[in-house]
Amino acid sequence: MKNVPISALVIIFLVFPADPLLAQSPLDELSDGDLADGERLFRVHCARCHGIDGAGGEGSNLARPRLRFAPDDEALIDVIGDGIPGTGMPAIWTLDDEQTARVAGYVRTLGRLEAEEMPGDPGRGASLYQATGCPACHIIAGHGTGIGPELTEVGDRRGLAYLRSSLVEPAAAQSQTMGYQDYLTVRVSTKDDSVEGLRVNEDAFSIQVRDVAGTVHSFRKKDLLKFEKIFAHSLMPEYGGALPERDMNDLVSYLMSLRSEK
Ligand code: HEC
Ligand code: HEC
């Protein structure tokens, strides 16, 4: 019985420093001046992909309390220093350790801001999404099909302004996001066939094109009578004039609500 208090002490000693809630974060020491410098560095190094207010563009929306790849501050620092392999998030080599900590501290302040307010009713937007034919080109949580990007967690990646412009003027929104070199529209014709769609693949001798219905067509280049690459063009219809303002607001709200964290 005598040694019970001792083992209890040992347990406290082992558990205490490992508890992430009690552990010190390297960002705790930052002053207001450091955070202001972090904001300046963010504009220089991050804003072109994550948006000036961090609400997302080509890069994800960072104005969220929880980040998938950066569950804690150490991980956030690693994401900035090492990038996220296999994604569009590059390692930012040009920042030293202190600057990295300042930017990371600033990113955390974004997560504490109020989430952007939805301009409409996401529930009504969900029905409009179905009724407007969006599932013909996009997948959400396994439902839908087609040539557009998956939208399951689009609210994590994209903020209000970007989502609205991607519905009103898809081609303009697309040209902001370099990732969409993946979405190059091509028009090809042979003497008996003519197809418009996304380029899936191209080499010196052949090209494969996925049409809007999802069918992949393969052509030998020497058979082509016409071959056009149409830059800054989207196969997605422009919904700006087609939808009343209220519907547009509801649709955008629905897209904003598609998040990994509710
Ligand atoms: C060239 C574009 C680009 C630049 C510059 C860039 N990022 Fe990113 N970043 C991305 C992309 C794209 C992703 C999304 C990766 C994914 O989810 O597939 C991302 C993801 C992230 C994530 C993870 C978000 C999550 O949901 O877990 C963090 C954090 C992040 N970036 C911070 C930064 C910071 C801070 C800077 C500046 C120091 C920066 N990024 C600069 C493109 C960029
Ligand atoms: C004919 C196919 C098609 C239809 C219909 C369509 N889209 Fe798209 N959408 C695309 C393609 C292709 C892209 C990829 C970027 C581009 O080419 O503009 C895209 C991009 C998007 C993006 C940007 C996603 C991102 O990560 O940046 C959003 C949001 C979007 N679509 C929402 C919708 C909604 C909402 C509807 C219905 C009102 C819809 N789309 C209907 C083909 C379509």
254 pocket-lining for ligand 2 (C-beta < 6 Å): no
CA 32 – ligand 1 centroid, Å:
23
| Per-residue pLDDT, 23 | 55
| Per-residue pLDDT, 174 | 62
Domain boundary assignment for the chain: 19-112, 127-173+240-257, 185-230
Distance of CA 93 to the CA centre of its chain: 22
Q: Tell the residue nearest (CA) to atom 15 of ligand 2.
A: 174
Q: What is the percentage of the chain residues whose pLDDT exceeds 70?
A: 85
User: What is the DSSP pairing of strand 185-189 with strand 143-144?
Assistant: unpaired
Rounded Cα–Cα distance for residues 195 and 204 (Å): 19
| Per-residue pLDDT, 81 | 95
Q: Average per-residue pLDDT in the chain?
A: 85
Task: Please tell me the CATH code under which domain 19-112 is placed.
Answer: 1.10.760.10
Question: How big is the chain, counted in residues?
Answer: 262
Say yes or no: do domains 19-112 and 185-230 share a fold: no
| Per-residue pLDDT, 2 | 46
Q: Is the per-residue pLDDT at 5 higher than 60?
A: no
| Per-residue pLDDT, 120 | 96
154 pocket-lining for ligand 1 (C-beta < 6 Å): no
67 pocket-lining for ligand 1 (C-beta < 6 Å): yes
pLDDT band at residue 6 under the 50/70/90 scheme: low
pLDDT band at residue 209 under the 50/70/90 scheme: very high
pTM here? 0.73
Report, as an integer, the average pLDDT of 132-145: 93
Each residue of 166-200: pLDDT tens digit? Answer: 899 888 766 555 444 567 889 999 998 899 999 98
Cβ atoms of residues 95 and 42 within 8 Å: no
Each residue of 215-242: pLDDT tens digit? Answer: 899 999 999 999 998 887 888 899 988 8
Topology of domain 185-230 in CATH is SH3 type barrels. (2.30.30)
Phi, psi dihedrals of residue 98, rounded to the nearest 5°: -65, -45
Cα 79-85-86 angle, rounded to 5 deg: 135
Residues 6+ apart with CB under 8 A from 170: 234, 236, 237, 238
Atom of ligand 2 nearest to the CA of 154: 26
Which of 37, 46, 84, 89 has most ligand 1 atoms within 8 Å of its beta carbon, as the pocket-test mutant?
Answer: 89
Q: Tell the residue nearest (CA) to atom 41 of ligand 2.
A: 134
Each residue of 62-74: pLDDT tens digit? Answer: 988 788 899 899 9
90 against 148, higher pLDDT: 90
| Per-residue pLDDT, 16 | 47
